[in-house]
Amino acid sequence: MTVAATSNSPPTTPGGQGGVRLARSRRNAELSLLLLAMVLVAAYGAMVEASVLDTVTPSFWVPAAALSAVFLGLHVAIRFLAPFADPALLPSVALLNGLGVGFLHRLDLARATPAERAELATFAGIGGRQLAWTLISVALAAGLLAVVRDHRSISRYAYTLGLAGIVLVMIPAVLPPSISEINGAKLWIRVGGLSIQPGEFAKLALLAFFAYYLVRKREVLSLASRRFLGVDFPRGRDLGPVVVVWLISLLVLVFEKDLGTSLLYFGMFVATLYIATERVSWLLIGLVLFFGGAYLAYVLGELIGGPFANFYLRANIWLDPFADPYNDGYQLVQGLLALGSGGMFGAGPGAGQPLKLPEVQNDFIFAGLGEEIGLFGLSALLVVYLLIVERGLRAALAVHDSFGKLLAGGLAFTLGLQVFVIVGGISGLIPLTGQTTPFLSAGGSSLMANWLLIAILLRVSDAARRPVAGGGASSTRPPGGPPEQLHGAPTEVIRP
């Protein structure tokens, strides 16, 4: 076996270490997948031009080339900063991000008059802005990989991050509506022409805090508990701070009138708790609380309105979208019609009518894409999301430390839940709540936060897949010599 294995390793490196490590790190697989993704993005761009302009302009490849350059940059950064990171994450995300930019550029083309189309610059319009945001986000992700060399060091700032998360969530709630309100939801900080959605970043900060706190309390949570109605409940004082964090963010979100985000925080909280304690009872409690809360909000919305009126309206639209197809239900009905007219294989990129959809560049980008690539294409995109989430959960399973497990598991779950909430909303499975579609929707904050999320997943997966070998120091140790001391182990004590 050993001899056969040796012939498999690259013969060009007699030392073995360099070439063999590369083979394991699978960076070359990542590179080829990335190139395939970029070919897809370029093909999409060409087909959009062929449909909308009826000709393929000589510069159709410029956005795809810009994207390729920045993703290749991140790929090179990963080679140096996280050589053992998961090879499937970057190409999958790059494909989604690239198609998002392509679709937004397609909207620009459709909106522009024929005269304007010719001189639509690369960075103009929402497509161009998204392209610029992608460059910034990917640079930030590379920066995070460079700064955080070990994901466990995040846990040193857990309380700071928790506080930062709460502050970020609360800022839009206390700001006057003129600055923070767009379409009825108070989620933004608008300064000049720039609007920031701090909740997207709060998600990451709060999750890091949850993970750290639950790791510290995990033993107490799973051992010291009170049995009530056949279910083990943890003592209040152990759970206090987390519940407080969750309640605050939830209360604030009621005032910010955005149920999608509050559902996201709640799901995140329940999932982390479940991963930490391995008790199914938490999932049951979470589901009961959530459905109870949703029903209560519906009833309250019918009776007293106020902050719940928005949810009552949305639930009614969901129950019967065709009751008022020209006013209240207009957006959802148009989305359903777009998905329906797309059918199995879609109208073809650039051949649909996405401009009939309100908010097609944000919430309804999936319906807009669905009209053009059909169920066949949409399910491919959903599988890509599924693979990203699976790789995140895989990293969580494989990493050796509990903080990393909770962090990666929670982040991957959050990403999956966000896709479920928005795609479920668009397709009429659940009431529609405003959420961005990760990596596809127009918006800098969402893109940045999700790329940072991917950077953390890359970091954790790098730690998970790195061989335990202590590196050069331990291999040069004379054979038969005294074994290393316990604290010379390659792991590091994290005690704030």
Phi-psi region of 323 (alpha: psi -120 to 50; beta: other; left: phi over 0): alpha
Residues 44-63 that bind other proteins (CB under 8 A): 44, 46-47, 50-51, 54-56
* Nearer to other proteins among residue 167 and residue 380 (C-beta): 380
484 near other proteins (CB under 8 A): yes
Residues 12-31 that bind other proteins (CB under 8 A): 14-17, 20-21, 23-24, 26, 29
> Which of 184, 305, 343, 490 lies at the binding interface for other proteins (CB under 8 A)?
490
Residues 259-288 that bind other proteins (CB under 8 A): 278
Q: Could you write out the DSSP letters of every residue in 83-126?
A: TTS-TTHHHHHHHHHHHHHHHHHHHHHHHS-HHHHHT--TT-HH
> Which of 176, 230, 479, 496 lies at the binding interface for other proteins (CB under 8 A)?
479
153 near other proteins (CB under 8 A): no
Rounded to an integer, what distance in angstroms lies between the CA atom of residue 267 and that of residue 292? 14
339 near other proteins (CB under 8 A): no
68 near other proteins (CB under 8 A): no
Instruction: Enter the tokens of residue 283.
Output: 């999932």
Tell me the site size for other proteins, rule CB under 8 A.
83
* Nearer to other proteins among residue 8 and residue 113 (C-beta): 8
* Nearer to other proteins among residue 151 and residue 186 (C-beta): 151
**96 close to 470: Cβ distance less than 8 angstroms:** no
Give the relative orientation of helices 259-277 and 280-303 as an angle to the nearest 10 degrees. Answer: 160
Residues 390-409 that bind other proteins (CB under 8 A): 390-391, 397-398, 400-403
The one segment of 86-94, 157-165, 256-264, 311-319 that binds other proteins by CB under 8 A: 86-94
Min CB(141)–other proteins separation in Å: 19
* Nearer to other proteins among residue 337 and residue 398 (C-beta): 398
* Nearer to other proteins among residue 185 and residue 389 (C-beta): 389
From residue 466, how far is each of 77, 79, 227, 388, 434 by CA, in Å?
Answer: 17, 13, 41, 19, 39
Min CB(361)–other proteins separation in Å: 21
- Contact pattern for other proteins over residues 219 through 238, marking x by CB under 8 A: x--xx---------------
Q: Could you write out the DSSP letters of every residue in 244-283?
A: HHHHHHHHHHHHHT-HHHHHHHHHHHHHHHHHHH--HHHH
Q: Could you write out the DSSP letters of every residue in 400-419?
A: SSHHHHHHHHHHHHHHHHHH
Residues 429-468 that bind other proteins (CB under 8 A): 467-468
The 10 Å CB-count burial string (b at 16+, else e) for 219-240 is: eebeeebeeeeeebebeeebbe
Residue 81's identity, in one-letter code, is: L
Give the relative orientation of helices 27-52 and 89-111 as an angle to the nearest 10 degrees. Answer: 10
489 near other proteins (CB under 8 A): yes
Min CB(363)–other proteins separation in Å: 23
Min CB(379)–other proteins separation in Å: 9
Residues 355-384 that bind other proteins (CB under 8 A): 373-374, 376-377, 380-381, 383-384
Closest CA to 25 of 458, 406, 473: 458
97 near other proteins (CB under 8 A): no
Rounded to an integer, what distance in angstroms lies between the CA atom of residue 373 and that of residue 338? 11
